[in-house]
Chains A and B, each alone.
Chain A
Amino acid sequence: NAGVTQTPKFRILKIGQSMTLQCTQDMNHNYMYWYRQDPGMGLKLIYYSVGAGITDKGEVPNGYNVSRSTTEDFPLRLELAAPSQTSVYFCASSPDSHTEAFFGQGTRLTVV
């Protein structure tokens, strides 16, 4: 079982560049989430989606965009990367809001 798959695992970006972090899940889950984890901090919610075509902002959405055109995919777009976006990014999915969230392996992003 693949579960939640994130690509890439690592990436170095220059300031001002843009990129898309990919996330796909094969469990037919409705809910998907993007979190960032800064050193010594908890996971902070960037964006989430409760189903295809529906997205909403989390706690720290500035500088990011998402889309949910299919149930499986929930890409996170960074426009004009900034050093403050250096972090580890986690994608997760769950069948509904009351049950277990399944996480990807994470993407370590460095902006220099």
Chain B
Amino acid sequence: AQRVTQPEKLLSVFKGAPVELKCNYSYSGSPELFWYVQYSRQRLQLLLRHISRESIKGFTADLNKGETSFHLKKPFAQEEDSAMYYCALNAGSARQLTFGSGTQLTVLP
């Protein structure tokens, strides 16, 4: 069975500081990994996915198969980055999307 672990429930950084949100997964095959974000009073929405190798709003995430990790990084955090972030894994025979428990990021002024 697949599993996604986000070890930090809460993370606070100061504006301009680097931020890294951790995500580890367990799956024996080739996973597809995503980061979803939920801003206050908004819907959960896709931030980025590993397959596209893109940078969205300054965030990047690299899939490390050796460490089974997909950490989300941004070199200079902004106050508008404050949100709930979920790492998700798309795997299994039915391609179910499995979510981690989320990390609430707060960027302090």
Interface residues of A (CB under 8 A from B): 33, 35, 40-45, 48, 50, 56, 58-59, 90, 92, 97-98, 100-106
Chain B interface extent, by class? 20 to 34
The 3 closest A-B pairs by CB, nearest first: A97-B95, A42-B101, A43-B99
Q: List 11 A-B contacts (CB under 8 A).
A: A43-B86, A44-B99, A48-B94, A59-B98, A92-B44, A92-B97, A97-B95, A98-B32, A100-B49, A101-B97, A103-B45
User: Could you tell me the distance between the alpha carbons of A43 and B90 in the complex, rounded to whole angstroms?
Assistant: 13
Which A residues touch B86, using CB under 8 A? 42-43
User: Could you tell me the distance between the alpha carbons of A47 and B49 in the complex, rounded to whole angstroms?
Assistant: 23
User: Could you tell me the distance between the alpha carbons of A41 and B4 in the complex, rounded to whole angstroms?
Assistant: 12
The reply on B57 being an interface residue by CB < 8 A is no
Residues facing A in B67-97 (CB within 8 A) are: 86, 90, 94-97
> Closest Cβ of chain B: how far from A29's Cβ, in Å?
13
User: Could you tell me the distance between the alpha carbons of A35 and B9 in the complex, rounded to whole angstroms?
Assistant: 19
Partner of B97, one of A33, A50, A104, A106: A33
Which A residues touch B34, using CB under 8 A? 100
> Closest Cβ of chain A: how far from B11's Cβ, in Å?
14
Q: Which residue in chain A gives the minimum CB-CB distance to B5?
A: A42
Are the C-beta atoms of A45 and B97 separated by less than 8 Å?
A: yes
Q: Which of B9, B44, B86 has the most CB of A within 10 A?
A: B44
> Closest Cβ of chain B: how far from A27's Cβ, in Å?
14
User: Could you tell me the distance between the alpha carbons of A98 and B94 in the complex, rounded to whole angstroms?
Assistant: 11
